[in-house]
Structure 1
Amino acid sequence: MKLPEISVRRPVATVMVFAAIALLGGVAFFKLNLDLLPDVEPPAVSVITPYPGASAVDVESDVTKYLEDQLSTTPNLDRLESLSKDNIAIVNCIFDWGTDLDVAVNDIREKIDLAKPDLPDGAEDPYIFKFSSAMVPVLVMTVTAKESGPDLYRIVDKQIADPLKRVAGVGAIIYVGGQERQINVHFDREALEAYHLSVQQIRHVLADENLNLPAGTVKIGDKELQIRVEGRFRNAPEISNTVIGKSGDALVRLRNVAAVTDAFEEQQEWARSGNLPAIVLIIQKQSGANTVNVIKAIKERIKTLKGEVPADIEIHEILDTSQHIYAMTNNVTEAAVVGGILVIVICFLFLRRLRTSLVVTLTIPFSIIVAFIGLFSMGYTINVISLMSLAIAVGIVVDDAIVVLENIVRHVDEGKSPGLAAVEGASEVGLAVTAATLTIVAVFAPLLLVKGIAGIIFGQLAFLILLTILTSLFISLTLTPMASSRLLRSRAETRQRLMLVWSERILDGIDTFYARVLEGCLLHRRLAFAIIGIIFCGSLILIPVVGTEFMPEVDSGEVEMVIEMPEGARVEVTAAATEEMLKYVNDIPEMQASYALAGQTKKGLLSALGFEEGTNIGRIGGRLIDKEERSRLAKEIAFEFRERIANL
């Protein structure tokens, strides 16, 4: 028994099958995450080794060289890329696509252990950084203060960042800028010589004194108490009073040989927002978390935090990826909806029957519902690529249903009952529509075999189109015949309306015109082939003119520029130049919030994320007002900004 016959004879079972599909699709839809692009995990792992106080030349010879020697023998490695900078070494291990990165990370750990004995004493332990699209910042904010500036780092660290880290879905928060508290000890050389003490001796004494030690337990009655010796320093005077030695019968305290101050560490990273010193918060989400929900939860938490921090603390949003996601997904969704409506209208205009148009349009929602099930089962997200795939598929999924329905209508008009016409009409063209569908499958299926980032993006597109096309074939051979057997009536039973007669004449005219064109092409075959060849070759000539690019240019409402000072420039010099350029950014009338960064983060995390950083690197940018409220594109504003600073 064929599919059309089964569906017509068992309409209740057919309806229940599609009702179950609709239910599963609804559940899958509400469980899908919303994101801008598909999750991308490039086969690359970075090994980052901080080496404080070392120059780029020393980092290259003492750290990078030894790491490269060991990491170059890692299995499945495609190539190594290294970057040696002042204070830090970064070695990028790029593997073949398809490599299991969890296994690769274990191999890299083994190679690092082999390289550790050759690393200098001043170098910190290397750590591994595995990049993925989930680590791309979802929200970037600046925090400024007018009166609380000296205490800004502590406020951000304890009262803003710590609560935000506990928000569901937040992965990590990177700070850039601010001055971290540091106890400075300035020694008196003559006093050290007089007491016969060395800095190294004092360092060991302070390390031994600055400890909290567990001392076991004590049982008193029916209770057992934990004993702990608290020895950590609480303030600078306490450190200053620490006994560091003896001179005869007298105790030598730290204050006798040094001045102890409660101050800030030497600033290596610098940030400003507007006209005030700032700390930039770069927030990442957890892998698999819903970007939009995470950002929404963060904003809600920030509203409550504003009442817990000093009144002069201001928080400005610089980057909010949820807005990009909403804007792009809304645009694609709108295009898909408009396309679906146009498909329905065109079907009605050509079929000229409301019921037949309804049967055809049933294919669209059920194909999309199955696509949601496929997205959920494969772990994909609703993103620009998946929505674009559905927009493309909307115009294709009705093809099989139109062919099947047109043949069923022909049988009905010949006088057969709707049930018999549905079975015979669908069975007659079943093989033809299957072949037509498989030709589309043959076009898109090879995209599933593409590797690299193109395979991740276009593989999802191919998967969704193949799924919706095959679903539409199933619907055209099951739901379409069943619905036709219940809804269709013969032309004799349908009242002839004036509009129907008028549209019939127009379509007959189109058929007559097409017949004449086809007859002319057959009579003048050489001329027809020549015209077709000229059009084809002419289109190939236009390819260099059109140009190519990986992703289209979009107006994201953000402007950013990176400046590079001469190699070896101090961070103070770079910061001064960056601050001067920030004034030009603040003068741009469309600018809503601005920021400037200079220097290098302690762990080199910005370098691992793909940002340029260093004592000679500065970054200036900002967020523009909404596109609807400005007359210029972000590209035009960036060009003007570039022209302004070129004269500095």
Structure 2
Amino acid sequence: MILSDLSIKRPIFATVMMLALVTLGIFSYKRLAVEMFPNVEFPLISVVTTFPGASPETVEREISKRIEESVNQIAGVKHVFSTSREGVSTVMVQFQLEQKVNDCAQEVRAKIGSIRGNLPQGIEEPIIQKLDFNAAPVAALAVQSDTLSARELTTLVDKKIKKRFESVAGVGKVEMVGGQKREITVDLDPVKLDSLGLGVNDVVSGIRSENTNTPLGRLTRGTAEYPMRIDGKPDNAGDYRLMPVAQRGGRPITLGEIAQVNDGVEEKRKLALVNGRPAIGLDIYKQSGGNEVELVDTVKNVMQKVQKELPPGVSLSMVRDGTIMTRDSLADVEETLLIGGILTILIVFCFINSWRSTVITGVTLPISVISAFIIMNAMGMTLNVMTLMALSLAIGMLIDDAIVVRENIVRHLEMGKDHMEASRFGTAEIGLAVFATSMSIIAVFIPVAFMKGIVGRFFYQFGISVAFAVLVSLFVSFTLDPMLSSRWSDPSIHLHGKRKGLARWLELFNDWFDLTSDKYRGAIGWALDHRKTVMLAAMAAFVGGIVIFGTLESSFMAPEDKGEFQVAFKTAPDASMAETEGRLQAILAGIKDIPEIDHTYATIGAGDSGTVRDGLVYLKLKERKERKRNQFELQRVVRERFQRIAGITLSIEEVGQIGGAQKPLNVNLKGDDLQVLKQLGQRLKEELYKVPGIVDLAVTLEHDIPEYRLRVDREKALSAGVTTNDIVGTLSRLVGGEAISTYEDEDGDAVDVRVRLPEALRRNPGQVADLKVSLPDSGGATKLVPLASLVTTRVATSPTEINRRDLARQVTVSANLDKLPIGTAVKHVEAAAKRINMPPGYSVNLSGEAEDMAESFGYMGESLLLAVIFVFLILAAQFESFFEPFAIMLSLPLSIVGMAGMLKITGDTVNIMSLIGLIMLMGLVTKNAILLVDYAKVLQKRDGMARRDAVIMAGRTRLRPIVMTTLAMIFGMMPLFFGIGAGGEGRAPMARAVVGGLLTSTLLTLLVVPVMYTYMDDLGGWLKRKWRGEHANR
């Protein structure tokens, strides 16, 4: 071969090429960013439109539906979701993954612009933005103090600590959770307002006109020019009481006469607790595409500096580090990579029994692995679990070519050839077969890299990394290995019977293996004499494998013990902050005696959409070696304890899920009537409650929110000259409270000035009707109109939100799963859906993990088919035959026997990882068959050997490299096989599927492939004779 001959002749040239690859690989490695998973961009666009005062039904009808119908026309849209809440419409447009997110955002913006005139007046401008599907804090900090008040601590955090972290490079945003900011509250006295003939609008106008800082122009003095400004803002908060807001009876009315002015804090709407103690949380978000590990390291360094600057009694701690799992998983995969490499090299040493030959063979591993970093850096990849797992799984494959080449060279040395001749002839003889085996593996991983859907995005880097590493290993096997074999003589090859110690034991092992190889020659002969029996046995094994495969349960991914989880809970729709806080304290009290919990971080109202009803408890567990129970057992304990707490709906959630935290089982009921959907949802929930393993069931629209509805009598309002907007303005300020101005504190920061009713009046809905609406009369004075004369009041219920998907209303029944695979849960859902008798016009569909699983399995099926086709085409090109490849490809279905059996034994499901293992097998199991069939054909053509003798001799000669490469691949995957370490449970099914498939495929291939080869040879000969006979007759 050209490459091997050139390397043998020019050893320095071959060495320089290897050094260049290693050097580039090391420099590329240093430039790679580190993250848990590949950075996948999901094209998801949100449109948020605010319509103050509108009910969910109005928001849905006037805004959400119109936007949905507009954006649904855009090419590439996969799903359109909308949520209509009181005063807010949120429409999310999910595009196919192949779409560019910036182009999607532009098209959505254009569509919204085209219908802007059809949206109702009074709405705020729609906000269109790209959403990060994986947006989650990379870290959470907590600030606590035993010496500062809530207001003082909040001011310290807001003005100093928060800003320090916002300025850190790579930080996208810092969200403060808990604490109470300073606020000037103006609690108006309705009785005093009435006695003076003042309305709330008069007070607001008065405050705004007095609390001003306005430029007046410029004064010129000589050659100088001075700006003039009036500064009407109070110097201190107490001066607000002296601020005139109106004129009555020829005298000014001060704010202190009609209101209680307090320099206090804002209303408590968020809360953070660390181990049950009050704290202020700081959630750190990274910029899109940022390196989360580097960012958290930087945040930790900044924390040390900030802590030194804090007042005595104030502590700053990190309560959640989102990179722990990333670091642990990467460290575990790196360790797996190292252990796998060592085990692989030990296998080589056992069979070759020569440290020099082992070094010549083993040097392929570090060069191939390090060189893989070149393509990763060049293609913008990162160092993540997928890329490192790819290299871990490929350890055995990367050394295969070198094993086969070196073994063949050693065989020729033992035949008496010198090192130069043995290196040339040995490499050339096996070269085409080695090339075909490597191309078969590459042909399998390229379709994996280019699968569609979510699974394709995450396995893109996986497939490319393996394909490039295998290509480099092939290059090294054809260059460096022959060169070293030709120059670095190995005297141990000729020391048979003269070794000592370990070498002597290994020599005895190899003698035993040679005897076994001789017996294998007889086994092949028996198989060739009983071809039908062998084929029937193979068919029976395959059918058995299919039967076992059919009994396996399916899931999207295997669960992993991450050492952390969180409990999300909701209180009743009418629950106050105090009510939710009480439930939170009950939750914390219920888990404080669990010894495996390291610490807790609890919040209320966190996140952009968090309300006083939304609570979250993050539980960080101790290290695995320090706890007796795993994460899943602890989740069951926590769930059982929380279910005893009345008034909450809870959900156990995984932390750091791809696509954010959501339940795995989501069943959507679609239709038009909300009441019918609500009833169907409850019935389906009741049916699913009966299924063991389906837990944390919840239904959207399960609880309506009670509300006080004021209906305007338009005839009376018209005669009084009052508009609905006047009523809304008055009540929103008095009941809801409105920040109407700002006060500039001593640091120059703005403090809100909020007008509202006193808390006692805001608690009493009956007193709302006693309020008065103010409006100017014809004489310019203020006219007060009693609200009770304009409206009627009643208590009613309203849906908290209305959800839609793909232009139809829907109710979603969601649930977590406990020891129940998603595939089995889906079957129960389908059966339950049939029992509830859906009325015409209503339908059921699945979303979330079930939808992702079905879609991903379909794409993986396509990838599997492409892999088989590509392998066949490569084999057909190598053997120049369309029949003989079938003899080799018979090993493909035989691998299913071991794969299914191994998954059954280990209790694994058919999931993404195990299916990737199946696809890998399509390339791996053909290697052994190629080596056997290729050498049989060489013996027939080159040495004129009879077919039977050639097949038997090929089996005897190639048994050693076949067993060596198979064991190298198996032992290289052993660390992954046992699933030890962080995240090992999720990666183990892939290795188990491959190991099981390799074991049975290799054992069956050794007998079945020789038989199938003779059948295909007979078929090819018959067709040739028939073809020649037909032409002869012509």
Normalization by structure 1: what TM-score?
A: 0.90
Q: Which residue number corresponds to residue 610 of structure 1? A: none
Distance 1:217 1:419 in 2: 96
Q: In the alignment, residue 106 of structure 1 is paired with which amino acid?
A: Q
Deviation readout 1:347-387 (Å, 9 max, x if unpaired): 11112222121111111111111111111111111111111
Q: Which residue number corresponds to residue 206 of structure 1? A: 207
1:567/1:616 contact within 8 Å kept? yes
Give the secondary-structure state (helix, strand or coil) at the position aligned to 1:397.
helix
2:63/2:120 contact within 8 Å kept? yes
User: Within the alignment, does 1:521 sit opposite 2:516 as a pair?
Assistant: no
Alignment of 1:270-285 (within 5 A): 270-285=271-286
Question: Structure 1 residues 417 and 177, CA, compared in 2 at 3 Å: closer, same or farther?
Answer: same
Distance 1:443 1:335 in 2: 23
2:414/2:494 contact within 8 Å kept? no
1:22/1:369 contact within 8 Å kept? yes
Q: Which residue number corresponds to residue 140 of structure 2? A: 140
Q: In the alignment, residue 330 of structure 2 is paired with which amino acid?
A: T
1:85/1:614 contact within 8 Å kept? no
Identity among equivalent pairs (%): 32
Question: Structure 1 residues 213 and 494, CA, compared in 2 at 3 Å: closer, same or farther?
Answer: farther
Q: Which residue number corresponds to residue 40 of structure 2? A: 40
Q: Which residue number corresponds to residue 99 of structure 1? A: 99
Deviation readout 1:552-580 (Å, 9 max, x if unpaired): 21111223222233444444333322221
Alignment of 1:209-220 (within 5 A): 209-212=210-213
Question: Structure 1 residues 415 and 275, CA, compared in 2 at 3 Å: closer, same or farther?
Answer: closer
1:8/1:481 contact within 8 Å kept? yes
Question: Structure 1 residues 535 and 277, CA, compared in 2 at 3 Å: closer, same or farther?
Answer: same
Q: Which residue number corresponds to residue 646 of structure 1? A: 643
1:371/1:467 contact within 8 Å kept? yes
Distance 1:45 1:391 in 2: 37
Q: Which residue number corresponds to residue 367 of structure 1? A: 368
Distance 2:420 2:223 in 1: 86
2:210/2:245 contact within 8 Å kept? no
2:139/2:285 contact within 8 Å kept? yes
Q: Which residue number corresponds to residue 389 of structure 1? A: 390
2:44/2:133 contact within 8 Å kept? no
User: Within the alignment, does 1:476 sit opposite 2:477 as a pair?
Assistant: yes
Deviation readout 1:525-562 (Å, 9 max, x if unpaired): 33333333333333333335442322221111223222
Distance 2:304 2:474 in 1: 51
2:357/2:490 contact within 8 Å kept? no
Select the residue among 588, 591, 595 that pairs with 2:597: 591
Q: In the alignment, residue 434 of structure 2 is paired with which amino acid?
A: V
Q: Which residue number corresponds to residue 511 of structure 1? A: 517
Q: In the alignment, residue 187 of structure 1 is paired with which amino acid?
A: L
1:240/1:260 contact within 8 Å kept? yes
Question: Structure 1 residues 423 and 260, CA, compared in 2 at 3 Å: closer, same or farther?
Answer: same
Alignment of 1:549-564 (within 5 A): 549-564=555-570
1:185/1:261 contact within 8 Å kept? yes
Q: Which residue number corresponds to residue 173 of structure 2? A: 172
Distance 1:393 1:146 in 2: 55
User: Within the alignment, does 1:625 sit opposite 2:622 as a pair?
Assistant: yes
Deviation readout 1:463-501 (Å, 9 max, x if unpaired): 111111111111111111222221134677658425264
Distance 1:345 1:395 in 2: 12
Give the secondary-structure state (helix, strand or coil) at the position aligned to 1:46.
strand
Give the secondary-structure state (helix, strand or coil) at the position aligned to 2:613.
strand
Q: Which residue number corresponds to residue 607 of structure 1? A: none
2:242/2:254 contact within 8 Å kept? yes
2:7/2:480 contact within 8 Å kept? yes
Deviation readout 1:284-304 (Å, 9 max, x if unpaired): 112333222211111221122
Give the secondary-structure state (helix, strand or coil) at the position aligned to 2:290.
coil
Shift of 1:191: 4.1
Question: Structure 1 residues 45 and 232, CA, compared in 2 at 3 Å: closer, same or farther?
Answer: farther
Give the secondary-structure state (helix, strand or coil) at the position aligned to 1:135.
coil
Question: Structure 1 residues 215 and 70, CA, compared in 2 at 3 Å: closer, same or farther?
Answer: farther
Q: State the superposition RMSD in angstroms.
A: 3.0
Moved more, 386-395 or 242-251: 242-251
Q: Which residue number corresponds to residue 16 of structure 1? A: 16
Shift of 1:70: 3.6
1:140/1:281 contact within 8 Å kept? yes
Distance 1:224 1:625 in 2: 69
Distance 1:129 1:596 in 2: 29
Give the secondary-structure state (helix, strand or coil) at the position aligned to 1:27.
helix
Question: Structure 1 residues 133 and 184, CA, compared in 2 at 3 Å: closer, same or farther?
Answer: same
Q: Which residue number corresponds to residue 108 of structure 1? A: 108
Shift of 1:248: 5.4
Deviation readout 1:28-75 (Å, 9 max, x if unpaired): 111111111111222212223455665544543454334334433344
Q: Which residue number corresponds to residue 444 of structure 2? A: 443
Distance 1:146 1:425 in 2: 78
Shift of 1:395: 0.4
Distance 1:588 1:226 in 2: 67
Give the paired residue count.
Answer: 639
Q: Which residue number corresponds to residue 28 of structure 2? A: 28
Question: Structure 1 residues 69 and 133, CA, compared in 2 at 3 Å: closer, same or farther?
Answer: closer
Distance 1:357 1:283 in 2: 50
Distance 2:192 2:405 in 1: 100
2:177/2:270 contact within 8 Å kept? yes
Give the secondary-structure state (helix, strand or coil) at the position aligned to 2:45.
strand
Distance 1:314 1:81 in 2: 43
Give the secondary-structure state (helix, strand or coil) at the position aligned to 1:8.
helix
1:48/1:90 contact within 8 Å kept? yes
Q: In the alignment, residue 508 of structure 1 is paired with which amino acid?
A: D
Question: Structure 1 residues 540 and 112, CA, compared in 2 at 3 Å: closer, same or farther?
Answer: same
Distance 1:85 1:386 in 2: 43
1:447/1:459 contact within 8 Å kept? yes
Select the residue among 497, 500, 514 that pairs with 2:499: 497
Shift of 1:25: 0.8
Distance 2:408 2:112 in 1: 69
Give the number of the structure whose alpha-carbon radius of gyration is greater: 2
Alignment of 1:429-440 (within 5 A): 429-440=430-441
1:317/1:593 contact within 8 Å kept? no
2:70/2:111 contact within 8 Å kept? yes
Q: Which residue number corresponds to residue 353 of structure 2? A: 352
Q: Which residue number corresponds to residue 407 of structure 2? A: 406
Q: Which residue number corresponds to residue 187 of structure 2? A: 186
Alignment of 1:70-89 (within 5 A): 70-86=70-86, 88-89=88-89
Q: Which residue number corresponds to residue 130 of structure 1? A: 130
Distance 1:405 1:220 in 2: 97
Q: Which residue number corresponds to residue 262 of structure 1? A: 263
Give the secondary-structure state (helix, strand or coil) at the position aligned to 1:632.
coil
Deviation readout 1:166-207 (Å, 9 max, x if unpaired): 222222122233323322222233444555543234334434
Give the secondary-structure state (helix, strand or coil) at the position aligned to 2:289.
coil
Distance 2:224 2:407 in 1: 87
Distance 1:227 1:638 in 2: 67
1:43/1:96 contact within 8 Å kept? yes
Moved more, 65-74 or 372-381: 65-74
Question: Structure 1 residues 418 and 220, CA, compared in 2 at 3 Å: closer, same or farther?
Answer: farther
Select the residue among 563, 570, 582 that pairs with 2:588: 582
1:557/1:625 contact within 8 Å kept? yes
Moved more, 198-207 or 115-124: 115-124
Moved more, 528-537 or 290-299: 528-537
Give the secondary-structure state (helix, strand or coil) at the position aligned to 2:556.
coil
2:42/2:101 contact within 8 Å kept? no
Give the secondary-structure state (helix, strand or coil) at the position aligned to 2:99.
coil
Shift of 1:620: 2.5
Q: Which residue number corresponds to residue 324 of structure 2? A: 323
